[in-house]
Amino acid sequence: MKTKIFAITALSFSLTVVCLAQTSTTGAKGSSAPYNEGPVWTLTMIKTKTGLSDEYIKQITGTVKPVYDEEKKQKIILDYKILNGEASNSQDFNILILVEYPNWAAFDSLRDKMDPVVEKVMGSEAQRRDLAVKRLDIREILGTKTMREITLK
């Protein structure tokens, strides 16, 4: 009986040590990664047809900008940026739209928060579809990425 109690005590002690060892490496000192995690960004790479960059920017100034401004006001997003430049080749993008979110959790139920804003600013689903079809004539979305900003330690 004493041997059984000793074995159970030893096993419990061993499990406690293992659990404490695992939590103490990150709990006391923080992450061992060589960077600190920051906000999350979505990046949309857009290729406009030759000579139509300004036309595309005019279009999004009246549609996308008010949506982002309202989302920023409601703290759905932290910020947004639009970069315009030269494509490096015929398959490259020339406009990059970046939208900053506080963290990955901001994407939970994001559509529930964004849909009312988009509808308020850009109109009904049919109106938004018509706009999207019109934009197909002047631009192509090459891709979208979601990435976390990091700060090197």
* Helix, strand and coil in the chain, % to nearest 5: 50, 25, 25
Indicate the domain borders of the chain: 1-32, 35-152
Beta bridge pairs of residue 16: none
- Full 3-state SS string of 53-110: HHHHHHHHHHCHHHHHHHHHHCCCCCEEEEEECCCCCCCCCCEEEEEEECCHHHHCCH
* Predicted pLDDT at 28: 54
The CATH class that applies to domain 35-152 reads alpha beta
* Predicted pLDDT at 8: 47
List the pLDDT tens digit at each of the 153 positions of the chain. Answer: 554 444 444 444 444 444 444 444 444 567 899 999 999 999 999 999 999 999 999 999 988 999 999 999 999 999 999 999 999 999 999 999 999 999 999 999 999 999 999 988 888 888 888 877 878 889 999 999 999 999 999
